Structure 1
Amino acid sequence: MSDKTIIFFLVLIIIMLLLIILYQRFVFTRGIQTKLKQISEKLEEILETGSDEKVMVFTDNKVLMELGGQINRLLIDRQKIKADFKREEISSKKMLANISHDIKTPLTVILGYLEILRLGNADNEMLKKVESKAKQVMDLINQFFTLAKLEAGDTNINLCKININELCRENVLSFYDILLQKDFTVDISIPETTIFVQGDKDALQRILFNLISNVIRYGNDGKYLGIFLYEDKANVFIDVTDKGKGIKKEFASNVFDRLYTMEDSRNREIQGNGLGLTIAKNLAVQLGGDIFLDSIPNIKTTFTVKLKKISY
């Protein structure tokens, strides 16, 4: 065999060895990238869903195994922080509920004495104002107490089959006198066919009471109340509509926040203690539903209650 032939084969062998090394490096790099991508995707899924899962790394690469271990340590720390925060949040809400309850007792006594004083001084304007303000404070405390109990999970929600047609009629009738007194036009659309929902009667009464009260108090300019009940295959909807000044688009996403009010230099668009809509929303969610807002200022404002339908 000639020298040229030997050199040719040596060069060929070297080239083959280089190709094998490059291929192995490519496979190794690609394998690392695949594992890193899997870790990244799993981590993103855990963070988005808030689950308590861990990142599982199946590999012989010590660096990747160590990385997976450190990520899992961070996830465990995150879970502990979340659990501690949840406990503190529940504790704070229970404390607020207890404080609200404790404040109600002396305030009830004060209102009792004011009522006695008013019996002998029926025309005393100062006493009338004091009693009015004391009742406002009591209403605020009651709202705080209700919301604190809801958020602390201390409210008994008994889900059962509710005739929502009848409940809507009852709530409108309970406001009949005040609507008549304020010269409201009332538009009611309730199907003759009975519709049943999954709900708690007291909770549904509170939701509708808060929404209709909201119309009377803040949609008074439009002198209009609309109650529309309808359904689809899975859900039931109640629209509570007014034609008052409404809510501007930039504020619409905040109306269900606790103690949220909106004010400009000319008028107050949402007044009161800012808890009525928060309570209504919270109750609707606990019933497995929700409340949505759609408002075109000075034309139409609609709060839509969504509830789970029960088949006949």
Structure 2
Amino acid sequence: MDEHHGLTERFVEHRPHLRAVAFRMLGSLSEADDALQDAWLRASRADVRQVQNLAGWLTTVVARVCLNMLRSRGSRREEPLDIQAADPLLGAASMGNPEQEVEMADSVGVALLVVLDTLSPAERVAFVLHDLFAVPFEEIAPMLERSPEATRQLASRARRRVKGAAPAPRVDLIRQREIVAAFLSATRSQDFQALITLLHPDVLLRADKAVMLTAAPVVVHGAEAVAKGAMAAMQRAQFTGPALLDGAVGLVMAPYGHLRVAITFTLVDGLITDIDVIAEPERLDRLNLTVPD
């Protein structure tokens, strides 16, 4: 009983790290907590007296559970399932909490979650464990049933997808990111005057038919009209963050890591002259989406 109590305490101690690993693997807080519950059941049945690095061992257990969940996604639905019963190791506050889900997505980076969602399960595990949590390839390889060198190649392939090609040198990405971040902040805080200062007087906003479910694309012209429309649309926009879209800084909306809307901006002399809101699947598929540094 004392040994089990001690394991429980240590699992709770490592839980924030394990949850962070699981969330980056799965892109969903409720699925991450499912994985932790499964990992706890496995750990509680194991003999860990000879385990010298319990944090590393638990990370491996969680990673194996997540790998199985990723591989099974093709045969079941993709929306996360809520945990059915509270568990003292998980905490009731995390269960079915959309606000906490959004906070976690913001902290990780919405663009990163979108790109991770395009990777194969093996690529995702190799990249997340090695590049984000510094787990050696020699420890990752057995769970993927690959050699360390093959595992290194998986992570390298994933890394190229995450980083993408270098953007055109003429693009001032730092200034672009400042303006896009200010746009997101102003729309979220409903600061009309701050938003107006970012827009060219003749700014043009286009939203394709899938954005508003209209028969034709929506076109809005002029700073005041665009500002009002953007504030109304973005006030409740969750799971939204910066991304590189075809080499330029834009915004993506991606609930649970699944890309739904992309917003591109054209800047001239530090002002936004054009905004393109994209939701049609074929247009989203054509975008080269990568993670900003």
> Which TM bucket (shorter chain)?
under 0.3
Q: TM-score, normalised by structure 2?
A: 0.25
- Structure 1 length-normalised TM: 0.24
Structure with max Cα Rg: 1
